[in-house]
Chain A
Amino acid sequence: MNKEAPLSIAERDFILNALREDVRLDGRAADQLRPLTVSFGEEYGHVKVQLGRTSLIVRISAEVTKPHDDRPFDGLFTIAMELTAMGSPAWDNGRQGDLETYVTNVLDRVVRHSNALDTESLCIVKGVSCWSIRADVHITDYDGNLIDAACAGIMAGLQHFRRQDAVVKEGQVIVYGLDERVPVALNITHKPLSVTFHTFDEGKKVIIDATRKEEQASEADVVIGLNNAGDVCFMSKFSGSPVDAMVFVDKTSVALEKVKEINAIIDKALQADLAKRAKSGMLEMSRAENDRELEQ
């Protein structure tokens, strides 16, 4: 398998020495994100995330399917991420690498296992039919910190997505087209995001949102997943050298601050997109959306 080119000794040493002076290659502070933009495409649930030089596209889709036998009241939710040669020449098409497995696993835990999407609300007929929501993550440019960027993209997508309306009439499931009935927003229970930290210099220096070169030079990474309320839903340190437990405690507050910052950026983008859609003659649609939310 192809691999990213390893760092040279000069690069590794320089990144470490600079961090000892609290200098990062792009002039950022240790707990400063790269510029993050979230934008939406024409379709519901089509999100573009740009985090510095890392960029990706998330697309959310829905289809009616049969629920799992052991969970007849639950709809399905899958996160599909495949690293292709588009994101980095070092990735092989059609072959799963370690990074892909790792990132998919973390995304699954932060977003899916924390029940960010209420899967019970996706049930149409118990044990017979339900919605299957699928989030496809396409990495278009890789320059570090895939996890946080993908997490923000999926959460933004889930909030932006509108599925078709479906009703049960005389035992038949009728799915209305997007233009026939006002499409339905997904039921989001909370908005968890991840913040990835990388440690250097025997754990003495900790930074967030590392670039690709910083990731390569780091000793270990720590991922913390939490929501705006500060509820921690995921914490991991899979590999690398040991990290002092205090790092987890200290950095959780930094992570909370960053989660609020990212969620604010997503909210702002959602508002702007809603305003744009309202302007282009979809005012009725968004109004009906609000009414529905009030009823609930």
Chain B
Amino acid sequence: MSSPLVLLPGDEIPSEYLPSTNSAPLRLGPGLRLLSQPPSSSAPSHVLTATQAGILSTDNKKNAVSILSAPNRRYIPTVNDLVIAQVHHSSPDYFHCMVTPQAPHVVLGQLAFEGATKKTRPMLKQGDLVYARVLSVGLGAGAEVELTCVNPATGKAEPGGLGHLTGGMVFDISNGMAARLMRASSSSADQQDGVAGLVVLDELGKKLEKVGGFEIAVGRNGKVWVDCSNGGDAAVKATVAIGRCLTTVDQHDLSPADQKKLVSRILREMKIEV
């Protein structure tokens, strides 16, 4: 990427920045809208303008273009996002869950779990956590957002790990950090600088192997669930250490080298043998 294009709302996107492959229709991501121009002008009849401030991001493979905006913004549910939801109450057909505070509850079907039937459905209480996928966001105002913990096509919890999260601890991170962690944890490539500028997870993974490793689930709604239940005596300390590492990297935008130093420093502070 050459110097990135920073756009403000109302800025037009120069056509040379758009993906050049013309075979597929252009897909507009968040932060952009298509406006038609007055027919008199010599320019093309449609222009793309930004509605949010951020960096223009293009994906030539998918022929998609979108704007990467502020990482601390409020999460708005989007189809297929993985989120960590908290059960608020249940009704005969649904669990009503919280994904973002100060926002309406979202619904999760009582049977939208792997292998759930009327008799074997999970009994979730208020305050329980679920790792779920956004199934639909509905249309128009007041539409309900629906989550699912199962792939409706296969009846399996895909991707793995969807469902009730037991034990562990949840840490709050920014939206942007959640997206980066998602990319970093899903990519298997062992790159030197890590994926999306993050080496903190790899580093923690290596160092915490001795205490039994850890499980992690990242929700796009700015939550990360961490569990070290295999850790025995060090489980609590290791969980806290992971949480501290992730939130510090998020708050201070640490470089990969600093992330490695941070991991060593926090593990030393928490007196965890590595």
**Direct A–B contact present (CB less than 8 angstroms):** yes
- A10/B240 in contact, CB under 8 A: no
B33-41, B154-162, B164-172: which lies at the A interface?
B164-172
Q: Chain B: interface secondary structure? A: mixed
Closest Cβ of chain B to A203, distance in Å, is 21
Residue of B nearest to A6 (CB): B127
Q: Which B residues touch A69, using CB under 8 A?
A: none
Any chain A CB within 8 A of the CB of B125? yes
- A12/B127 in contact, CB under 8 A: yes
- B101/A89 in contact, CB under 8 A: yes
Q: A8-B86, A10-B168, A89-B101 in contact; A25/B240 too (CB < 8 A)?
A: yes
Q: Which B residues touch A26, using CB under 8 A?
A: 244
Interface residues on chain A, number (Cβ under 8 Å)? 22
Interface residues on chain B, number (Cβ under 8 Å)? 25
Any chain A CB within 8 A of the CB of B23? no
Q: Which A residues touch B243, using CB under 8 A?
A: 25
Closest Cβ of chain B to A92, distance in Å, is 10
- B237/A21 in contact, CB under 8 A: yes
- B168/A23 in contact, CB under 8 A: no
Closest Cβ of chain B to A97, distance in Å, is 14
- B244/A10 in contact, CB under 8 A: no
Give bound CA distance, A12 to B165, whole Å: 14
- B270/A27 in contact, CB under 8 A: yes
Q: Which A residues touch B200, using CB under 8 A?
A: none
Q: Which B residues touch A89, using CB under 8 A?
A: 101-102
Any chain A CB within 8 A of the CB of B6? no
Any chain B CB within 8 A of the CB of A174? no
Give bound CA distance, A27 to B243, whole Å: 10
Give bound CA distance, A8 to B244, whole Å: 19
- A10/B101 in contact, CB under 8 A: no
- B236/A10 in contact, CB under 8 A: no
- B101/A4 in contact, CB under 8 A: yes
Q: Which residues of A contact B (CB under 8 A)?
A: 2, 4-14, 17-18, 21, 23-27, 89-90
- Which 5 pairs show the lowest CB-CB distances between chains A and B? A5-B101, A9-B127, A14-B169, A18-B236, A8-B86
